[in-house]
Amino acid sequence: MDYTHVVQYYETDKMGITHHSNYIRWMEEARVDFLSQIGWDYAKLEAAGIFSPVLNVSCDYKKTTTFSDKVTIRVSVQELRGVKLHLAYEMKNEEGTVVCLATSSHAFLNTDGKPIRLQQEQPGLFAALSSLIEEK
């Protein structure tokens, strides 16, 4: 599922290039949008008592971006196992050139901070995410 971010002036450094830390923020924007697109926005997750902290983030920067560039971010489910979700992000500029490849891993916790086994405790969310796992 795709999300588009327009690079803002404040996201660039003195050289006019997007600062690397912003790509991680864009991943979060795309992830929030992705969850909304599959019917599990953050309000619904929190109402169900589900929290999903980030466990790991990895970025492989391929090409720079600059102010006003449109970056399309495709989010895909790599793996869903036990209490962990692994997502992949492919970021492309308007020409279709990959500018960044990234991954993030997330846990699912209840309001007490204890891990949730989605398949047993939240079968609807588990089914929605499982149906989107991409073959390697």
Q: Which of 13, 33, 41, 112 is catalytic?
A: 13
Burial of 80 by CB count in 10 Å (0-12 exposed, 13-18 middle, 19+ buried)? Answer: buried
* 8 A C-beta contact, residue 133 and residue 77: yes
Is position 13 annotated as part of the catalytic site?
yes
- Provide φ and ψ at 43, rounded to 5°: -65, -40
Q: Is 127 helix (H, G, I), strand (E, B) or coil?
A: helix
Q: Could you tell me which of 32, 30, 99, 101 has the C-alpha nearest to residue 66?
A: 99
In the block, tokens 């492989």 appear at 60
Closest C-alpha among 41, 20, 9 to residue 91: 20
Tell me which residues are annotated as active site: 13
